[in-house]
Amino acid sequence: MSADLPVVCWFEECRRDSVPLVGGKCSSLGELIGAGVRVPPGFALTTEGFRRFMSEAGIDREISTLLRGLDPQDMTALEAASASIRQQIEARPFSMETEDLVAENYRKLSVRCCMPAVPVAVRSSATAEDLPGASFAGQQDTYLWIRGVDEVLHHMRRCISSLYTGRAIAYRANHGFADEEVAISVGVQKMANSYTAGVMFTIHPANGDRSVIVIDSNFGFGESVVSGEVTPDHFVVNKITLDIIDRTISQKELCYTVDLATQQSIAVEVPFERQKVQSLIDDEVTELAWMGKQIEKHYGCPMDIEWAVDKDLPAGGNIFILQARPETVWSKKQQAPLAAAGASAMDYILSGMLEGKKLN
């Protein structure tokens, strides 16, 4: 721990190299904001805040004792240790100093968004997730449509505790990550009141084709797409011309939205007459693809992106990027050159045509 490191910081204060302080997800959001990408505002409890919480509550010593000598293949023992660790984390309060900092930032975020007790997504952001070559993404939790500082603090602890699921403990052990080497930050981000949301790849996730952008969408929050609970609408866009070259409109029977009575995110059935309606209009597909191109250009590699169309805002300024991380499957594979080194551009084009390949 260091007295020089902040406990809480705004996304715009973060950049790509801020991973040790705010984890992969929050550093990426800060990087996107710095690049001029439209991102809902928010702040993060830093890894310094996480470490102070664990130390001040005495949980770090208890975790070391519980995990010492555990066999990562013994899932029964792992789950028992996980349940004990998670219960302890979620039951302990933050220090008054940390609570005050989070409460003040949440108040400022609400003022900034012109909405009292602004609804937020509380997102885990581990230092080893969303990194090129790592597959930690998705191991920790995200909670949607959280309102009020007490609920934000409660779900922050739930995010921290998700660092110690049985699956996450086993994954770290099997891949040579010591538990003390992995820290977690928690992002608190203004919730986009999504009419439609989903994921976008700036490379074809099925075959590695870099000449296209692939977009999957469903009504409501993106949770139904990310979790695989529905078969989403599917668009393939030419990366150069931004023309839609393939589309599949699926029957979307379920979506996530807010229950206005309880102010919570819930799964609801999509009305039958909307189930086969295209969830994104063509202009939105084109704008999303253009944004994807800019993000890929900024990062210099194919990207895996989560996005949302906010129904509370007018068209032209209502598509937001919620998360972006380097694509880690196809982009790491070595591609054989289409033409010999030193060949002309025409040789490259002709080689690609003879091979029957789309050129990047």
Say how far apart CA 134 and CA 88 lie, in whole Å.
Answer: 28
Give me the pLDDT at residue 178, please: 77
215 and 155 in a single domain? The answer is no
Q: Are residues 18 and 86 in the same domain?
A: yes
Rounded CA gap, 123 and 94, in Å? 17
Give yes or no: residues 235 and 119 share one domain: no
Task: Please tell me the pTM assigned to this model.
Answer: 0.85
Is the CA virtual torsion 180, 181, 182, 185 positive or negative?
Answer: positive
For residue 295, tell me if it sits in a domain. yes
Task: Please indicate, yes or no, whether residues 210 and 134 belong to a single structural domain of this protein.
Answer: no
The confidence score (pLDDT) of residue 357 equals 45
Say if 258 falls within a structural domain: yes
Beta bridge partners of 309: 196, 319
Would you say residue 342 lies in a domain? no
220: CATH: 3.30.470.20
In a domain, 69, yes or no: yes
Residues 24 and 165 in one domain: yes
Please say which residue of 190, 221, 249 terminates a domain: 190
**259 within domain boundaries:** yes
pLDDT at position 68, please?
86
| Per-residue pLDDT, 334 | 55
pLDDT at residue 103, rounded to an integer: 98
CA dihedral 90, 12, 149, 185 (to 10 degrees): 0
Q: Is residue 160 part of a domain?
A: yes
- Provide the pLDDT for residue 348: 43
Residue 263: its pLDDT value, please?
A: 83
Q: Based on the domain organization, do 167 and 205 belong to the same domain?
A: no
Same structural domain, 182 and 215: no
Quote the domain boundaries for residue 98: 8-190
Residue 208 and residue 176 in one domain? no
Residues 205 and 162 in one domain: no
- Given 157, 190, 223, which residue is the final one in a domain? 190
Domain boundary among 163, 190, 217: 190
Q: Are 159 and 140 in contact, with CB atoms under 8 Å apart?
A: yes
Residue 354 lies inside a defined structural domain of this protein: no
173 and 231 fall within a common domain? no
User: CA 43 to CA 65: how far, in whole Å?
Assistant: 33
Domain count, the chain: 2
* Number of other residues whose CB lies within 10 A of the CB of residue 152: 22
Domain CATH number, residue 126: 3.30.1490.20
- Are 115 and 147 found together in one domain? yes
Tell whether 178 and 216 lie within a shared domain: no
Successive 10-residue mean pLDDT values, the chain, 360 residues = 85 95 94 97 97 92 87 91 95 96 98 95 81 51 93 97 90 80 92 96 94 98 94 97 97 94 91 97 97 96 96 91 89 53 47 46
Residue 355 lies in a domain: no
